[in-house]
């Protein structure tokens, strides 16, 4: 197939230049993957796991309550179930509300009381030094598989993490489920299991990788491409029923469907109540009577999550004045459900384009505040908050998102310090609070046809590290305007160039920003991405608009 020169230029701009790199990137069957033995401690870790299985030891998989942790747990359960009786295999997902992220002492003690001799962590555990030590004191062995940054004292056990010091693994962008999969690869090799044992869990790797917003490049791209194929076979009964219940169709699932539909439904389980239900769904077998019940439960919980999220957003923004915004939005909220504080905070950050944190009461007497923060481009939230670590009881996160617990009396000190820091940052960068709309390339309407749109799809899967190409259509006129939605929040229109060529366009959710300007027929530029849609057998082009710039 002859590639459109625009596709080649787009790839070159993303650092994919050599012919063999281009072929690999666009291949339907990519080959880029690495030997799992390059991961430090993986060989010894797998030897220990297989040795304990041989002894008949009870094993507990310890995961996390988000989609990455849920899929990691499900993957390890699936692989180990080929080697040991299911009665000897257990799992533990901590409560987001009572226990929080990672290993905790009570959970370790509970697992020991149930007779486990080995804990395998997935998507957590790298810095749980005290908890791992306690497990060992109770007579249990521990193997950690994780992908998080190691910013504290490292657990003293066999620890498989591409980000650990001294590691030689070529790719550090694996999800927790990706690390669990590499461990499973080594288990498959050493135990002599058939290759299909790995193939059948690639769907979980795709969901975990996309759900944890890992970069869809390098080895992740290989695993996600094959994982999407696996999802589209519909062979995992619980996942198939969830896909159908959410209004999607097996055989047509894309990375966007995973990120915006499947992942939120899995996450809703842990946000509202108990994430172990999602693990039960993903590990259920064909004919399991629980599948329909769990799917209905996840569908309900996701609807409830949306309702709570809308309420939290409305409550948290009620007193915000768009004309007089603080440079850091530090919002106290008594009513925000702890499980949705992060996504509500993300929406506030996007709407007002300021770093934000929602603080909710916690502790027996409400004397503590639990903070959940999200940041904008150009503001490293972790570095910003790290300065005030003395004010926190707990603190962790990364540049875009952080969490902390603090005493109420320290709030004023934190607020004053953050506002002072942000004033300095904004004086150094006057455009800090102007939302950026990156453009890959300027195109003309005549450049856009069905064949070009179909070649663009070869660049998928799209997501973190490989966003959909964004184009600018300059010097066009808007016509045939039609507002849509119950609050006229969307707008559909036709863009015409000076030669009379045109393309259908849609702008979702932000129509109110432009209002009557859409009717002025003033020259403007559109920033967005191209889609090829199929309707009743016919294909049509549509330009999905992110931003309108009037000349």
Whether pLDDT at 75 is above 90: yes
Whether pLDDT at 160 is above 80: yes
Predicted confidence at residue 235, as pLDDT, reads: 97
Predicted confidence at residue 469, as pLDDT, reads: 97
Q: What is the largest CA-CA distance in the chain?
A: 78
pLDDT (average), residues 217-223: 97
* Distance in angstroms (rounded) separating the CA atoms of residues 139 and 377: 47
Predicted confidence at residue 118, as pLDDT, reads: 98
Predicted confidence at residue 27, as pLDDT, reads: 95
Average pLDDT, the chain: 94
Predicted confidence at residue 109, as pLDDT, reads: 97
**What tens digit of pLDDT does each residue of 327-340 get?**
999 999 988 988 89
Predicted confidence at residue 272, as pLDDT, reads: 87
Predicted confidence at residue 274, as pLDDT, reads: 87
**Closest C-alpha to 495, from 437, 441, 439, 443:** 443
| DSSP states of 306-334 | HHHHHHHHHHHHTT--TTS--SSEEEE-S
Helices marked H in 115-160 = 129-137
Predicted confidence at residue 517, as pLDDT, reads: 82
* Distance in angstroms (rounded) separating the CA atoms of residues 63 and 78: 14
Predicted confidence at residue 518, as pLDDT, reads: 82
Whether pLDDT at 145 is above 80: yes
pLDDT (average), residues 458-465: 95
What b/e string do you get for 240-258 counting C-beta neighbours within 10 Å, with b at 16 or more? bbbbeebebeeeebbbebb
Query: CA–CA distance from 320 to each of 228, 329, 341, 421, 435 (Å)?
Result: 42, 9, 17, 21, 19
Predicted confidence at residue 191, as pLDDT, reads: 98
Predicted confidence at residue 268, as pLDDT, reads: 93
Residue 118 · residue 59 · CB < 8 Å = yes
By the 10 Å C-beta count (0-12 exposed, 13-18 middle, 19+ buried), 430 is classed as exposed
Whether pLDDT at 79 is above 90: yes
* C-alpha torsion sign, points 176, 58, 235, 63: negative
pLDDT interval class at 113 (50, 70, 90)? very high
Whether pLDDT at 515 is above 90: no
**What tens digit of pLDDT does each residue of 339-390 get?**
899 999 999 999 999 999 999 998 777 789 999 999 999 999 999 999 999 9
DSSP strand pairing (59-62 vs 89-92): parallel
Whether pLDDT at 534 is above 80: no
Q: Which two tokens stand for residue 340?
A: 């949705």
**Closest C-alpha to 49, from 186, 253, 151, 166:** 186
pLDDT (average), residues 159-177: 94
pLDDT (average), residues 21-31: 95
* Distance in angstroms (rounded) separating the CA atoms of residues 65 and 123: 10
Residue 112 · residue 138 · CB < 8 Å = yes
Residue 531 · residue 470 · CB < 8 Å = no
Provide, rounded to the nearest whole percent, the portion of the chain with pLDDT above 70: 100
- Asked which of 454-463, 500-509, 512-521 is least confident by mean pLDDT, the reply is 512-521
Predicted confidence at residue 427, as pLDDT, reads: 96
Predicted confidence at residue 1, as pLDDT, reads: 72
Residue 43 · residue 58 · CB < 8 Å = no
**What tens digit of pLDDT does each residue of 232-287 get?**
999 999 999 999 999 999 999 999 999 999 999 999 999 888 899 999 999 999 99
Predicted confidence at residue 34, as pLDDT, reads: 98
Whether pLDDT at 323 is above 90: no
Predicted confidence at residue 362, as pLDDT, reads: 85
The listed range with the strongest mean pLDDT (289-298, 511-520, 529-538) is 289-298
**What tens digit of pLDDT does each residue of 396-432 get?**
878 888 989 999 999 999 999 999 999 999 999 999 9
Predicted confidence at residue 68, as pLDDT, reads: 95
By the 10 Å C-beta count (0-12 exposed, 13-18 middle, 19+ buried), 487 is classed as exposed
Question: Scanning the structure block, which residue is given the tokens 């004086």?
Answer: 427
Predicted confidence at residue 322, as pLDDT, reads: 87
Which residue ranges form the domains of the chain, and what is each CATH number? Answer: 30-299 (3.90.1640.30), 319-428 (3.10.310.30), 441-550 (2.40.50.140)
């Amino acid at each position: 197939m002859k590639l459109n020169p625009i596709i080649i230029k787009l790839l070159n701009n993303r650092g994919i230049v050599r012919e063999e790199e281009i072929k690999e990137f666009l291949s339907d069957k990519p080959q880029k993957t690495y030997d799992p033995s390059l991961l430090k401690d993986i060989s010894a870790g797998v030897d220990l796991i297989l040795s304990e299985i041989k002894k008949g030891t009870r094993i507990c998989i310890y995961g996390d309550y988000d989609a990455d942790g849920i899929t990691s747990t499900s993957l390890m359960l699936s692989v180990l179930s080929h080697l040991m009786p299911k009665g000897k295999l257990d799992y533990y997902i901590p409560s987001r509300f009572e226990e929080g992220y990672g290993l905790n002492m009570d959970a370790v003690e509970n697992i020991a009381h149930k007779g486990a001799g080995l804990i395998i962590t997935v998507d957590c555990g790298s810095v749980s030094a005290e908890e791992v030590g306690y497990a060992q004191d109770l007579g249990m062995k521990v193997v950690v598989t994780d992908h998080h940054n190691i910013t504290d004292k490292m657990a003293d056990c066999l620890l498989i993490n591409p980000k650990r010091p001294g590691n030689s693994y070529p790719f550090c962008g694996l999800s927790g489920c990706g690390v669990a999969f590499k461990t499973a690869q080594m288990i498959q090799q050493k135990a002599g299991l058939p290759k299909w044992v790995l193939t059948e869990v690639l769907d979980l790797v795709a969901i975990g990788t996309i759900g944890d917003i890992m970069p869809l490049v390098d080895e992740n791209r290989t695993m996600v491409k094959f994982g999407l194929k696996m999802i589209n076979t519909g062979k995992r009964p619980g996942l198939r029923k969830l896909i159908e219940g959410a209004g999607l169709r097996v055989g047509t699932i894309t990375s966007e469907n995973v990120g915006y539909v499947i992942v939120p439904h899995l996450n809703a389980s842990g946000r509202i109540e108990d994430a172990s239900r999602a693990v039960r769904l993903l590990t259920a077998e064909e004919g399991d009577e629980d599948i329909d019940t769990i799917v209905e439960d996840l569908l309900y919980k996701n609807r409830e999550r949306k309702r709570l999220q809308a309420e939290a957003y409305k409550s948290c923004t009620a007193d915000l004045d768009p004309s007089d915004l603080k440079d850091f939005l530090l919002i106290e909220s008594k009513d925000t459900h702890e499980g949705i504080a992060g996504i509500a905070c993300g929406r506030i950050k996007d709407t007002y384009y300021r770093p934000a944190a929602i603080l909710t009461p916690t502790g027996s007497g409400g004397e503590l505040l639990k903070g959940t923060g999200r940041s904008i481009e150009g503001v490293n939230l972790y570095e910003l908050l790290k300065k005030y670590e003395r004010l926190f009881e707990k603190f962790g996160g990364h540049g875009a998102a952080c969490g902390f617990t603090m005493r109420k009396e320290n709030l004023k000190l934190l607020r004053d310090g953050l506002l002072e820091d942000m004033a300095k940052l904004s004086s150094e960068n006057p455009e800090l609070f102007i939302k950026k709309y990156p453009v890959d390339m300027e195109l003309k309407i005549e450049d856009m046809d069905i064949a070009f749109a179909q070649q663009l799809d070869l660049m998928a899967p799209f997501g973190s590290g490989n966003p959909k190409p964004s184009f600018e259509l300059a010097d066009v006129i808007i016509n045939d305007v039609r507002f849509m939605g119950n609050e006229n929040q969307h707008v559909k229109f036709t863009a015409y160039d000076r030669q009379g060529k045109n393309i259908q366009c849609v702008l979702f959710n932000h129509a109110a920003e432009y209002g009557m300007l859409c009717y002025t027929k003033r020259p403007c530029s559109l920033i967005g991405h191209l889609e090829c849609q199929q309707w009743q057998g016919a294909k049509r082009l549509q330009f999905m608009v992110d931003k309108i710039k009037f000349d």
